[in-house]
Homo-oligomer: A and B are copies of this chain.
Amino acid sequence: MRRVTLRDIATETGFSINTVSRALNGKPEVGHDTRKIILEKAAELDYRPNKLARGLRSSRTHTLGVIVADVANPYFGGLVKRLHEAARRYNYSIILQDTDEDYLREVEAVQVMLAEHVDGLVITPVQTDEATIIRFKESRLPFVLLGRHFDDLETDYVTQDDEQGGRLATEHLIKRGHERIAFVGGPLSISCAVGRLRGYEQALNEHGICLNPQFVSTRSVTTEDGYNVGKSLVKSKPRPSAIFAFSDFVSLGVMRAIREEGLEIPEDIAIVGYDDVSFASCLSVPLTTVHIPRKEMAEIAVDILRAKIDGNVDGAKHVKLPVGLVVRQST
């Protein structure tokens, strides 16, 4: 029950392997009848090309590498899903590597991708430094950063507009009448954290609210972090009347801290998250959050890669997509 190869079709139809190959690849220089016969036989035998052989020959594997920090996190999971969808449309397969937020793993993942001869690479780093990225550029493997970028590095990237997101969230709270708005941010080594903080500051500024340093922290990534920071915020005096959190996961922690103090959301403290992760709408108090256009981001990333793979490059592409505020009941 061996695999069907070009040779099989060749012997069965009487043509040469070559003609068969050409017919199957839709080359123009094949006789009409010949092509028909060959295609029929191929279908009959359920021929499927051997990607390995093809890849070896053409040095194209029709495979994209995807490196993410944590697939178990629905934020990345969603991204991976979209990437897969986009890639599928062009018959690209996806090789996945999870770095578990670990820098060494990321380096390793890159090596694997190189060994796999992926045609292109999407990488969604979270907290790595630039070294990996620089190494990339040297490897000449087409790649694009997703959801994060480095200001001082000339690479292609597709991100959400975090400044806008920060502004949207903060302005929304201001419009609801809040002035004591706390910012439970992420570490500033993450580019999105910086953008969101800037947006927050801008919004306060524009509305003549001065920033209270006590209300600003930049070290939360997990729910746990959110809980801890939330705890101290809730106990501070005066306490904030609203909180803008780095992510929906961080929000979960903050919400819990708020509730543990016997306070109500949004009556006592309003809260806005970020990411619009799947469960955000399902919480007991559905979470107001910033929606990231993951689908578009994934599609654009794949398009950029395809262009680079096909050699249609005209300088690095920098795409920053607008985000949207999803107002639910936590504000």
* Chain A interface residues (CB < 8 Å from chain B): 1, 48-53, 55-56, 61, 63, 66, 70-74, 76-78, 80-81, 84-85, 93-98, 100, 111-112, 114-117, 140, 223, 249, 252-253, 255-256, 259, 278-279, 282-285
Contact = CB atoms under 8 A, between A and B. Distances in A.
A100 to B, nearest CB: 8
Given A52-B52, A71-B80, A77-B72, A249 B96 contact: no
A283 B256 CA distance: 7
A91 to B, nearest CB: 8
Contacts of A140: 1
Given A48-B115, A80-B71, A279-B279, A94 B96 contact: yes
Contact of A115 (B49, B73, B80, B112): B49
A84 B97 contact: yes
Q: Most chain-B Cβ atoms within 10 A of its Cβ — which of A50, A74, A114, A117?
A: A74
A21 B85 CA distance: 39
Nearest to A259: B284
Contacts of A63: 95, 116
Nearest to A108: B88
Contact of A72 (B50, B70, B78, B100): B78
A85 B96 CA distance: 11
A252 B287 CA distance: 13
How many copies of the shown chain assemble into the complex?
Answer: 2
Nearest to A91: B112
A282 B111 CA distance: 36
Contacts of A112: 93
Contacts of A285: 284
A248 to B, nearest CB: 9
Q: Most chain-B Cβ atoms within 10 A of its Cβ — which of A81, A94, A114?
A: A81
B72 A283 contact: no
A329 to B, nearest CB: 11
Given A73-B77, A249-B279, A282-B223, A98 B84 contact: yes
Q: Most chain-B Cβ atoms within 10 A of its Cβ — which of A85, A100, A117?
A: A117
Given A48-B114, A52-B52, A114-B48, A256 B284 contact: yes
Given A48-B115, A52-B117, A80-B98, 14 more contacts: A50-B117, A52-B52, A63-B116, A71-B71, A71-B80, A74-B77, A77-B77, A93-B95, A93-B97, A93-B116, A94-B95, A95-B95, A95-B96, A252-B279
